[in-house]
Amino acid sequence: MDTFANDIAILELATYVVYTYNIRPICILWDPLWKQYIDGIPVLSGPVWGKPENEDESNGLRVLDIRRQPPEMCVSGLSTIFTNQFCAGNSESNLCNVECSSPLGAVIPYKNTYRYVQIGIATTNQKCNTPSVYTDVLFHIDFIIRVWRHYDNVQGVPNPSPKTTSQ
C-alpha cells in the first residue's frame, strides 16, 4: 500500500506563467521557525476545481475553508499518518479525490503585508465528505531549499523568521 509519505514534487516550468484571476503565485516559507506558528492555524483554505459531489454542474474555481483535524480522523484506510503529513477537512469542507495535489494554505502576516502561503498539498482521502491527508510543505523545506540551490546556484534564503512580540 502506498502511504503517500513524501508526496511532493518540484517542477521547473518551460515558459513563464501569465497570472489571471484564477492563476496566482503562492509563497513557501523557507524558515522552519515558522512551523509552530503554522501548525497553530486551525482553519486553512484551498482552491477546488470542478463540481461539488452532490451537484450536476461545475461552478469553476471555488475556495474552501478546511479545518485541521486530529491525525486519528484520517487513519481509516491508511496504517498511519506520518510526521510529514497532517489531517484536515470535514463533511462540509474536504477535497475530493479529483483534487489530489491541490495546495492548501493560509494568509499570514509577512513583513509589512499579508501573504498567502502554501502549508499543505492534498495527498489522499478515502472519499468525499471525510477528512483528507495533506503533505506538510514546511516539513520538506530542507529538500525544497536543496533543490532550489542546486538548480539556481543561489546561497541566500530570503525569508524572515516569524515576528515575536513581547508583552
Domain membership flag for residue 67: yes
More confident residue, 93 or 132: 132
- pLDDT exceeds cutoff 50 at 164: no
Q: What is the DSSP string of 51-119?
A: --TT-SS--S-EEEEEEEE-GGGG-TTSS---TTEEEE--TTTPPPGGGTT-EEEEEEEETTEEEEEEE
Domain membership flag for residue 84: yes
Report the pLDDT value the prediction gives residue 139, as an integer from 0 to 100.
93
151: amino acid identity, one letter = Y
Host domain of residue 86: 32-152
The pLDDT of 94-121, averaged and rounded, is 84
CATH number, residue 43: 2.40.10.10
What is the spatial distance between Cα 48 and Cα 100, in angstroms, rounded to a whole number? 10
Domain membership flag for residue 137: yes
pLDDT, tens digit (0-9, with 9 covering 90-100), for 43-81: 999 887 665 656 666 667 788 889 999 998 887 655 678
Domain membership flag for residue 146: yes
pLDDT, tens digit (0-9, with 9 covering 90-100), for 112-151: 999 999 999 988 666 677 888 899 999 999 999 998 888 8
The pLDDT of 92-102, averaged and rounded, is 64
Domain membership flag for residue 131: yes
Q: What is the DSSP letter of 50?
A: S
Q: How many domains does the chain have?
A: 1
What is the spatial distance between Cα 109 and Cα 136, in angstroms, rounded to a whole number? 20
- pLDDT exceeds cutoff 60 at 1: no
Domain membership flag for residue 166: no
Beta-carbon contacts of 73 under 8 Å, excluding residues fewer than 6 positions away, are 87, 131
Domain membership flag for residue 93: yes
Domain membership flag for residue 167: no
Beta-carbon contacts of 90 under 8 Å, excluding residues fewer than 6 positions away, are 67, 69, 131
Instruction: Supply 160's cell numbers.
Output: 524572515
What is the spatial distance between Cα 25 and Cα 102, in angstroms, rounded to a whole number? 14
